[in-house]
Structure 1
Amino acid sequence: MVTETGKNCLAGIRDCALGAVALLGLSLAASPATAQTQLRMANWLPPTHPLVQDVMLPYAEKVREATDGRVTIQLVGAPLGPPPAHYDFAVNGVADITYGVHGYTPGRFKTTVLAEVPFLGDSAEAISVGYWRTYEKMLAQAGEHDDVKVLAVFTHGPGHVFTKGRDLSSMEGVQGAKLRVGGGIAGDVASALGAVPVLAPSSQSYEMLAGGVADGILFPYESVTFFKLDGILDTGLVVPGGLYNTSFFVVMNKARWDALSDEDKKAIDGVSGEALARLAGQAWDAADAQGRAAMEGKVEFLDASQEQIDTISTALEPVVAAKLQEAAAAGIDAQAALDMLKAETAAASK
């Protein structure tokens, strides 16, 4: 989705500088006469991104409404640092609230990889709701987030393969292809399918594809159009349930959380957790739908054949097994957690 290094991420987005000013204008800070507590949310995306427009800003408004204006959230206009640093910004109090990608700090979070495995589903909303329920009941006990208050975990929509100049009607079209990935399980998936993963920030995707450094990319629909790749890529292989997802967090500094009144904590909890995971998932689904619609006539979509699905499933079995082992190392029953995640995702899909 977005970059592993803030410098490259922000350099690749032309409106980010103007966005710093615009974002301040969009911040939902109440006047000093009504606000008792103002929380600063660190931000590293441009104001046009769906995660800002359709998740973080609406969430800030929901917090304001739930607390009758006693607690407000202001999105910081300029990035405080690179995306991988944002979790620790919340830990250390550099910002009161932060959001980010678990995979941007490899090896730090072991249980969250379960939400990124292939074939979980076609709806970010359903996966995100199932993910939160599983996190709350099973994953939290690993203690990986004990240094913050977790407001939500969620995923973006399912990722697929997009290429230029390659025949994706068979898996031979993927083999040997240089696919840009953002790290984490996406790189493992690319390797398992016989592709050559090329690790690079999302913001460099356009120049890599245009310059022939990469033959394709693993992305959800939304990101293809957001990074304006629909004019370069010509074919997409759509795999039911997706080849991977990306796990996100929204967390708060513990001291700032503890300083809130019990009334405000209860109010914020009421619009966080599953409610925030659902909000984020709905936003991703809407963005994916818009992204796919925008690609019609530019990108040929090929639904994976049963033969391709069987080949992909077999190839990715070792990847899933490795992720289960990784999660189990955190002290949880990884298989039971994955089973719960799948069951809750299925339930949320109905």
Structure 2
Amino acid sequence: MTRKTFLSSSMAAAALLTTGLAGAQTVLSVSTWLPPAHGATVAQNQWCEAVEKESKGSVKCNLLPKAVSAPPGTFDAVRDGLADVSFTVDGYTPGRFIFTQVAEFPFLGDSSTATSVAYQRIYDKYFAPLGEHRGIKTLAVFTHGPGIIFTVKQPVTSAADAGKLKFRIGGGNINELSKLMGWNTTLKPATESFELLSTGVMDGTFFPDESLQSMRLSMVKYATTFPGGLYNISFVFMMNKAKYDALSATDKAAVDKVSGEAAARLFAAGWDRTDAASRDIQKTTGVQRQMASDAFVSEVKARQAALEDKWVAAAEARGLKNARGVLAEFRAETQKLK
């Protein structure tokens, strides 16, 4: 081989390698345990589209046909690399996360957007540096819409009414609050609600509005609402840490740009949209809605006060300074976002 031929061959090989690197692509395996049309699943898909656009095609998503884990195991599944991206409910593993409970207290806000954006801001400022979601890359945090009491056979007009029934709940603060209220509740994933209510194993469930449609709960006939919601549920949207760490600096920047508050708003908007659509459907299906009485609200507030004291102590034990002040700041932030 002549020197000229060698140089030409080397340049061609280098060009081919450069082209290959330029076209290199990271594919994220993305899992959801909620139905394809659910607002959270749709929001996750929209985030994928945003990442692909921001990275100019360098990062894409492969939407898995089925969940890689039951809902309570999703956090560990992402941590261990069974999926690269997913979301889960922090309260599905009771006692594991403390800071996240601040977003689950009653009477916080009348929309997912208000609570989710406020929560993301508080999370970034106070919780993220303490690393409670260790083992994964936190992309965003958010909440669903205001929590409601839904029942099948009779309305709930008081705490005493609720005490006569059996309910499915999703965990977190509402689990502890229900115990203090003396209610008969069982911690089960949202995806089991249809079977529990249709078979009569449970008399009702605590859910945001959208769940009547996404979980096909046509048997529900009564709803008791609360100003600012009886509760919220804290979600974490996450990526496998090793997968994130392996990204180029440019691709990390693309992921970061569409995460945080941008992603929290994306999930919240989907929830608010489907909550509103469900309320319209409830009018046509005859669900009887009523606002909890002042006496009912006061009783919940009285019980919740002890849980807030408990949270303050637990959060400060994990390193959060002035937890009561953080809670007050979170509430003030939700009011600004109404």
TM-score computed with the length of structure 2 as normaliser: 0.87
Q: Secondary structure at the match of 1:221?
A: coil
One-letter code of the match for 2:266? Answer: L
Give the whole-Å Cα distance in 2 for the aligned partners of 1:102 and 1:170.
29
For 1:79, the aligned partner's letter is A
Displacement of 1:309? 1.8
State the SS of the aligned residue for 2:210: helix
Partner of 1:251: 238
Deviation at 1:262, TM superposition (A): 1.8
Distance 1:121 1:269, change over 3 A: same
Q: Which residue of 2 aligns with 1:172?
A: 160
Indicate the SS of the match to 2:194: helix
Assess if the C-alpha contact under 8 Å between 1:179 and 1:190 holds in 2: no
Find 2:315's aligned residue among 327, 333, 345. Answer: 327
Deviation at 1:44, TM superposition (A): 2.2
In structure 2, the partner of 1:151 is 139
- The count of residues paired between Structure 1 and Structure 2 equals 316
For residue 98 of structure 1, report the CA deviation from its aligned partner.
Answer: 2.4
* Structure 1 range deviating more: 124-133 or 175-184: 175-184
Q: Say what the alpha-carbon RMSD is for the aligned residues.
A: 2.0
| Whole-Å separation in 2 of the counterparts to 1:120 and 1:114 | 10
- Give the match for residue 318 of structure 1: 306
Please name the residue that 1:37 is paired with.
Answer: 26
SS at match of 1:209: helix
Q: CA deviation at 1:108?
A: 1.6
Match of 2:16 in 1: none
Q: Does 1:301 align with 2:289?
A: yes
Contact 1:114 1:324 in 2 (8 A): no
The match for 2:256 is 269
Alignment map for 1:1-350 (pairs within 5 Å) = 36-53=25-42, 55-229=43-217, 231-297=218-284, 298-333=286-321, 334-349=323-338
Q: 1-side partners of 2:60 and 2:199: how far apart?
A: 45
Checking the alignment, whether the CA contact within 8 Å between 2:32 and 2:67 is kept in structure 1 is: yes
Alignment CA distance shift 1:223-1:161 (3 Å): same
Q: Is the 8 A contact 1:99 1:251 kept in 2?
A: yes
**1:21 maps to which residue?**
none
SS at 2:337's partner residue?
A: helix
Per the TM alignment, residue 224 of structure 1 is displaced from its structure 2 partner at its CA by 2.0
Q: Deviation per CA, 1:265-312, whole angstroms, max 9, x where unpaired?
A: 222211110000011011111111111111115211111222222222
Compute the displacement of 1:207 (Å).
3.3
Give deviations 1:99-118, integer Å, cap 9, x for gaps: 11111222221111111111
Q: What runs of 5+ residues in structure 1 fail to find an aligned partner?
A: 1-31
Query: Structure 2 CA distance, aligned partners of 1:70 and 1:204?
Result: 38
Give 3-state SS (helix, strand or coil) of 1:197's partner: strand
Amino acid at match of 2:265: R
Which amino acid in 1 is paired with 2:46? P
Q: Quick check: 1:183–1:199 contact (8 Å CA) kept in 2?
A: yes
1:342 maps to a residue whose letter is: R
Aligned counterparts of 2:326 and 2:137: Cα–Cα separation in 1: 21
Q: 1:253 to 1:209 in 2, by over 3 A?
A: closer
List runs of 5+ in structure 2 lacking aligned partners. Answer: 1-20
Distance 1:63 1:180, change over 3 A: same
Deviations 1:180-222 (A, max 9, x none): 2123222223233332112333333233333332222111111
1:129 Cα deviation (Å)?
0.5
Determine if contact 2:35/2:214 at 8 Å carries over to the other structure.
no
CA distance 1:88–1:199, shift in 2 (3 Å): closer
CA distance in 1, matches of 2:116, 2:24: 31
Q: 1:84 to 1:169 in 2, by over 3 A?
A: closer
What is the distance in 2 between the residues matched to 1:155 and 1:186?
13
> Which 10-residue stretch deviates more, 274-283 or 99-108?
99-108
Evaluate the alpha carbon distance shift between residue 311 and residue 106 of structure 1 in structure 2; reply closer, same or farther with a 3 A threshold: closer
Letter in 2 for 1:294: I
For 1:284 and 1:56, the matched residues in 2 are separated by 12
Structure-1-length-normalised TM-score: 0.84
Which has the greater radius of gyration? 2
